[in-house]
Structure 1
């Protein structure tokens, strides 16, 4: 009898599957994919293969093939929750929407698990923010050869769909995107946190879903228009609020820079120029001096990053700690709901 694989062997098998899975859906060997998948999981789950009757094995392979055939548009993987929220709202159960980062995970510090690689290897569409937002993106892209990979902020920047904010420091490198060295390396990637830019992002995601599922294009268009209308209504509310309220803020790492710019908030500085990197004492002293000179009234903290330094700054400046969430929880809210929750938190803090 075949010896069951040890835990270390299983990890190796999973990594191997992540690599093989991306190749198994390639055009040159489509008929082998179901059998490879079945055999992998039988071994992974300690199911005896050599002693199995040929008919039973054939049934399992056939079921796997039938499942793949009925999958329709297939798997759509998003790196961060806001992108996933949009996919879920536009597509519903027409696609198998998967989220890479869970609640509390930061794209600036996350390291993919073998199960993440296996999931991505099955994707038809892989959505990332890009522009250095996901430090792990190069590793993920190596197993996504069967997917259309789109770095939304990068693509939107190239199409002139938003005016970039530069001077952002990334945690690590996001590689060479082929635009000439340094062209985009310092662009702030957090475009989804401004409703104005979010409108364009939603419209683009609807187009991408239509490309992998033309039969659903009408549905994606209708649902995207509904979401866009809500985002435009939120934009109008925020513009009205900003015209009569002063918001002077220090952000923990610059995630809300586009929000501040688009609605006239004064972003005095950031606590961490590079996410996860502690600032020097001199840097903090200079930031406090600037904050006092410009009357900072809120210091932003995020649930994905340690709040201690921001809380110290708030005490020094006599400002309120403002808890904003750049990612949200797709189990509890929609994309526009996340943006509205952040807006309402700002409004409460400065009234």
Structure 2
């Protein structure tokens, strides 16, 4: 399959007087696994439907490869969509479900059978070829829906929360399988999800959306480690946020005391500390910021423990790996020394 990218320029869309998209610009690279991440109502599904040709924008344009498709009907775009419901035909078996699109494209029977057989093998579902959709588990239905979308060899595959109906363990397994499938094919995948863990697991890059706009675009590690705004910091996982009350160069005052940053502080700005960057150790580390804290809550998470700390009357979270310390970890009610390196304190832009 050839690799084709997507360009979205100035896309707007309103429903009555309610704006859904407010001038969205995106440049998705050929062969990229790209994710639109955000809560319900942020515009991500509307944007996906516009790319698919299922909705028309009010303004802006869309290019798939070197071809503008803004006003082309859905059936002429080399784009396929996998929906949350999978939308399999219950009266057809797996092989006929997978080959349905090829039949609509009037691909001859021999070629259709060859491509369906190859795709069933590729998706590891050849043994299910004769089963009907209602005889399949949720994970098997997801694989069939994906095979049906990919057998047509689309330039871009759109995924509208395709794993959201599955249980946690199966969802985790299929996330990895979906990523491996995209890597093997090299097809451009665009995923819509509200699940930050899913976005971080699958994506080459993520666009975090908020109220019809793109808040920030970047690689998963970039967005998680160095978000630009409080909204992105909060949406991509647990975070401790502190307001800068006063600043003297790199030294700032916050509600929990003085902090040293790696760059000059700005009064009124928000500082973010990820819970796993906050260390709980008996002895102070050189060059670290230190706080006296009391453990208010201790939650066992298996591989780690999540703590709720009281630091100068402020509630902050810390996540500590369960093993490898060679000493007992703090219990509820204990006094501890919380520490964070200046490089792990991120100054956020005002929203």
Same fold (TM over 0.5): no
Q: Please, what TM-score do these two structures have when normalized by structure 1?
A: 0.27
Higher relative contact order (CA closer than 8 Å, sequence separation 6+): 2
Larger radius of gyration: 2
TM-score by length of 2: 0.27
Which of the two has greater helix per residue? 1
